[in-house]
Amino acid sequence: MPPSTRPVNAPVAIALKTAARQGERCSILIGQGLLNRAADALLRPGQRVLVVTDHGVPASMHALLVDGLLRLDAHVASITIKPTERAKSLRTLELILDAACEHRLERGDLIIAFGGGIITDVAGFAAATYRRGVRVVQCPSTLLAMVDASVGGKTGVNLTTSGGALLKNMAGAFHQPARVVIDTALLESLSDRQLRSGLAECLKHALISGGLGDKLLWTWTQASLHALLAHDPRALAALIARNVRVKARVVAGDERELAPPRKGGRMLLNLGHTFAHAIETVPGLSWPGPPAPGLASPVRALAPKLVRGPLTHGEAVGLGLLAAARLSRAMRLCEPALPDQVHNALTRAGLPTALHGLPDASEILDRMRHDKKAASGKLRLILPVRACRAVVREDVPENLVLAAIDAWRA
């Protein structure tokens, strides 16, 4: 039964075969009411669990998760982390490792990452490093974490240079979860801004889905934006399942991002991200917010309400997708209409397409050169091409990159 017609309460199961787990399959469960059985069949009575969560997780949902663990006779401890990019750090990693030591976790015990993308990344990294690796269950609480951060085994923290610059995800490890549990009931607690941010990663997946078994995802996502923003449970369940399948297919083919650039591989999942990471932590940015419900776009144009930064990860990714599409058109790699389609989709999703307070384009470009995908000082950029596919390019003219950055200016 396709995801769009499956009953809302029926879990969707997706298997991800991962080399890092000696041929085991990571099960990904999607549905409502899954939290209280997140660790079923993973624990023996008396084993220990450390739950790493964030302030955005509803207390009632945290209680559901813990009740399910206590039902398995587990010894449970929790630690709550403030989910900010500055807190996604080696210091926070140390706090989690200290908690694991205090709770006396052993190699066979479990860490549960219960929160948004920052929690999935840093708790997963803690699981990868504690006693050289313990099992982790990912329980994402935001749309962005559900469709992206929790799936695929990438974990990590940011580093801050001696000059104060924050470098995204510069320390980390590949550590596949024992299970991913996506309880769609958590979406009911999301703010509009969190939901919109998650949609940016969904648009990214749609732009590369042509060669990954879902050629219609880009068209379907654009057509479904109204239902998704209205929190329609069937549309959201279908969106998550289709996006997870796209990502799982990429990861299964190139788990550790070792494919050469000409083949793309897992690197394609970074579409828009080199641009995004360069602006995500820039201070002083602002942009016109989405119109209030019921207001037509001309009203927005007359009196836009400015949103002040920092950008969320999803907002930055959306801008990165737009820059990548414009760059691709300048290089004649995609249909001429693609940048306008991306712009329209971002606008309808209530995501920013232009920024006030953007630094000089050369400063943004310099930040981009710190990207992990850079090789021998050369930028590697993922660009969308025809038929909802993407390519990795190392030959992008610098003047075109600068022009794509400047096109963000409001």
Residue-wise pLDDT tens digits, 34-88: 999 999 999 999 999 999 999 999 999 999 999 999 999 999 999 999 999 999 9
And the tokens for 20? 């890092």
Whole-structure pTM value: 0.91
Question: One-letter amino acid identity for 81?
Answer: I
> Which pLDDT score, from 0 to 100, does residue 384 have?
98
Q: What is the pLDDT of residue 11?
A: 75
Which residues are CB-contacts of 10 (< 8 A; sequence separation ≥ 6)? 31
Note the pLDDT of residue 5. 41
Question: Helix, strand, or coil here: 312?
Answer: coil
Cα–Cα distances in angstroms (integers) from residue 142 to residues 83, 121, 328, in the given order: 12, 13, 30
* Residue 336 phi, psi dihedral angles, 5° rounding: -55, -25
Token pair 């940048």 in the structure block, residue = 339
Tokens describing residue 388: 């909802």
Distance spanning both ends of the chain, measured CA to CA: 45
For the chain, which residues score pLDDT lower than 50? 1-5, 7, 20-22, 295-301
Q: Give the model's pLDDT for residue 24.
A: 65
User: What are the tens digits of pLDDT across the range 185-194?
Assistant: 999 999 999 9
Torsions phi, psi of 75, nearest 5? Answer: -90, 115
| Unique residue bearing structure tokens 């908690």 | 99
The pLDDT of residue 378: 82
Q: Going from the N-terminus, what domains does the chain have, and what CATH number goes with each? A: 12-195+234-244 (3.40.50.1970), 261-406 (1.20.1090.10)
Q: Which pLDDT score, from 0 to 100, does residue 305 have?
A: 87
Q: Torsion over CA of 156, 137, 96 and 89, rounded to 10 degrees?
A: 20
pLDDT at 292: 66
Q: Quote the DSSP letter at residue 180.
A: E
Q: What percentage of the chain's residues is helix, strand, coil (to nearest 5)?
A: 45, 20, 35
The predicted pLDDT at position 300 comes to 46
Q: Which helix (H) or strand (E) holds 127?
A: helix 117-129
pLDDT confidence of residue 16: 77
Other Cβ atoms less than 10 A from the Cβ of 259: the count is: 17
